């Protein structure tokens, strides 16, 4: 597959999950493209319960009343992810679309390097039960390999 954009390919479990992820991606894209001010409540309300449960929250955060994950190296603080995706990444959100049955692609275009890396996008995908499988981050093509603790590593596919 050829694309001029940077991207992450991923597997998704079902149509509902893909639709939910696409809805949240489009909200980030629209907010960034139009420079719209969004508060914590907006982002909290934008994510479905199953995705929110895969983040950890501070006691002072707006947070779910249901259980969420504990802080660890394999997961993110929800509002830190929002900050990265909404404000910190030096990129344009391009598109999130299907490549085929249960296979999708998240495309973005960096303004410059370093732009913030793929970690935030990987955390977003994982929160929707999607499995990132490969990435082109502008420096090369990589396979993404997950460890049992939820952390991951890149294997260079250009070798």
Q: Is residue 78 part of a domain?
A: yes
Mean pLDDT within 104-112 = 94
Element (H, E) at 78: helix 78-83
Q: Is residue 1 part of a domain?
A: no
Q: pLDDT digits over 55-72, tens only?
A: 999 999 999 999 999 998
CA angle 137, 153, 8 (to 5 degrees): 35
Quick one: DSSP state of residue 77? B
Q: Which residues contact 156 (CB under 8 A, 6 or more apart)?
A: 140, 141, 142
Q: How many domains does the chain have?
A: 1
Domain that holds residue 116: 6-156
Report the pLDDT value the prediction gives residue 112, as an integer from 0 to 100. Answer: 82
Distance CA 40, CA 91 (A): 21
What is the β-pairing status of strands 152-156 and 131-136?
Answer: unpaired
Q: Is residue 111 part of a domain?
A: yes
């Amino acid at each position: 597959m050829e694309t001029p954009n940077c991207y992450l390919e991923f597997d998704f479990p079902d149509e509902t999950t893909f639709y939910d992820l696409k809805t949240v991606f489009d909200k980030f894209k629209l907010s960034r493209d139009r420079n719209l001010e969004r508060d914590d409540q907006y982002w909290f309300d934008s994510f479905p319960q199953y995705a929110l449960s895969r983040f950890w929250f501070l006691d002072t955060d707006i947070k779910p009343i249901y259980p969420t994950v504990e802080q660890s190296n394999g997961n993110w603080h929800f509002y830190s992810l929002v900050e990265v995706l909404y404000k910190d990444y030096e990129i344009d959100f391009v598109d999130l679309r299907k490549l085929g049955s249960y296979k999708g692609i998240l495309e973005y275009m960096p303004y410059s390097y370093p732009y913030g890396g793929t970690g935030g996008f990987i955390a977003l995908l994982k929160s929707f039960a999607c499995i990132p499988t490969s990435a082109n981050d502008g420096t090369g093509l990589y396979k993404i390999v997950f460890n049992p603790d939820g952390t991951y590593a890149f294997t260079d596919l250009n070798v």
